[in-house]
Amino acid sequence: MRARNSLRRRARMATAAIAAGVLPLALAAAAPAQAAPTRAGLGADDWSGIWLSNGGTTSATTTLAQVRTTIGADTGAARSLTGKGVGIALIDTGVAPVPGIPAAQVVNGPDLSFESQSGSLRYLDTYGHGTHMAGIIIGNDAATGTRGIAPGAKLTSIKVGTANGAVDVTQMIAAIDWVVENRNHDPLNPIKVISLSYGTGGNPTVWNDPLSLAVQQAWKAGIMVVAAAGNQGNGYGKLTHPAADYYALSVGATAPNGTTDPADDTLTSFTNLSTNGRPLDLLAPGSSIPSLRVPGSNVDNGFPSARVGDTLFRGSGTSQAAAVTAAAAALVLQARPALTPGQLKSVLMQGVWLPKLLAGGQGAKQIDVNMALAATPGQTWTSGDSDGSGTLEATRGSSHVVANNVTLTGQKSIFGPFDTTAWAARTKAETAWSGGTWMGHRMAADGWTGTSYASKTWGPATWAGGAWGGTSSWTDPAWSGRTWNGRFWAAGTWTGRFWASDDWSTGYWG
């Protein structure tokens, strides 16, 4: 609790300091002269625009074995399914090669994060979030016997987030574009699902929003985007974006309350509920789930009470619920590979009513794999096609990255001016990427190198110029001092140039 409160106080101080154009003294002492991108814009207790893993973890621990039983993945026709032959794209903070990650099941797509410019950080999970999600999906921890929900699926990791949450919405769009254009890079495991634990602080109009268009293009390419609903709470009144887009499968979190019987499951208090006409699509367990730990990562350092033994780390949130759902979708697709995203969404939504659900009027059921395997696809809403011409600011809302106390705003990507109309035409034609160049900006190499712990890795590239705040280099020396020695991060500090005032819901790991 002390660590949690300390981080929250520090986040509030930093938010006020950034607004005033200065860094708090504790951070100023650690920050280099030229500060690279950070995140700013939200209060410490606002979770929109960040990675959605939070929510109280005071409820009973829910193991992945219990999750499997709760969602019906270890009974009936689902018992023999592993997700084999199905590709899942995890757009997150990267995946660390901890012992519970089966290297043969992981592919590193391009690292599109600010950390990609450091050879010691590239592809790796400095935050601890992406590895936690990967563990829920494909993990195989020999130390504890913990296995993911879809251990046979092939996971493609596209890293966009840093150790403290710095990521612009244009990096998210670029990541989705890359998945769409490279969805068949492995013909034996085509990508059919995107797991997205991210939500912006914006509330854009659907008919011209760029992020909505990216999600819709994934859908039209045969990929279902599973999006965390948000963790601002039941009374927040809306889902975070892009979960608010009807083309996404929006997921809220339930608490199994120590049993595997859905009859006593309850809606978590942190799950966003909507009063604006876009309800949750479904629910999944997302409370106090132990998954793979990254020793020495940001959340591991900040919340030691969340550790479960040496290899696991406990977390709650709609992030965890989204990862459970993405894995469950892979199980269904293994048995029913011809399902379209609309059909898949429909059968997954035909789940179990929860007698104790506090928001029964929302219409959301908890996922049940066997019911999805047997269900007849029905109609799902996919209204409000976007032309992608809208403003990036409407999408960002209160979520901005900051470099040298300069906030990235307006019609700009991290590299400079960004023409959304030109991008929209190219994303519809699946030409936004050309090798490792996205919209004319070199972000990665032009193909696979195979030089990492993963079974396959997309090569890196040096970004031209510096950040919008006047930095001469994208590399953060304070972070680059960290090294991965094969099992954990050592030395150095995560409190460098990329500081985040609203980092990814770390206040509720524990």
Catalytic residues: 92, 129, 319
Query: What CA–CA distance (Å, rounded) separates 507 from 41?
Result: 17
Joined together, the tokens standing for residue 101 give 């990650």
How far from 29 is each of 5, 44, 165, 302, 455, CA to CA, in Å? Answer: 21, 22, 21, 19, 41
Residue holding tokens 């590399």? 475
| Alpha carbon of residue 505 to chain centroid | 12
Q: Quote the radius of gyration of the chain (alpha carbons, Å).
A: 20
Give the torsion sign (CA, 391, 392, 397, 398): negative
CB 17 within 8 A of CB 199: no
Joined together, the tokens standing for residue 11 give 């986040």
DSSP output for 23-85: --HHHHHHS-SS---EEESS-TT--TTSB---S---SPP--HHHHHHHTTTTSGGGGG---TT
Instruction: With residue 224 as reference, give the H or E element that holds it.
Output: strand 224-228
How far from 390 is each of 213, 217, 431, 441, CA to CA, in Å? Answer: 10, 16, 20, 21
CB 332 within 8 A of CB 344: yes
Pairing of β 38-40 and β 400-403? antiparallel
Query: What CA–CA distance (Å, rounded) separates 289 from 292?
Result: 10
Burial 247-284 (b: 16+ CB within 10 A, else e): bbbbbbbbbbeeebebeebbbbebbbbbeeebbbbbbb
Pairing of β 456-457 and β 106-108? parallel
Cis before residue 99, ω within 30 degrees of 0? no
Query: What CA–CA distance (Å, rounded) separates 333 from 336?
Result: 5
How far from 367 is each of 73, 254, 257, 270, CA to CA, in Å? Answer: 10, 10, 16, 19
- Give the E-state strand segments of 140-217 in sequence order: 140-141, 146-147, 154-159, 191-196
Backbone angles phi, psi at 220, to 5 degrees: -70, -20
Query: What CA–CA distance (Å, rounded) separates 230 from 250?
Result: 9
| Alpha carbon of residue 358 to chain centroid | 26
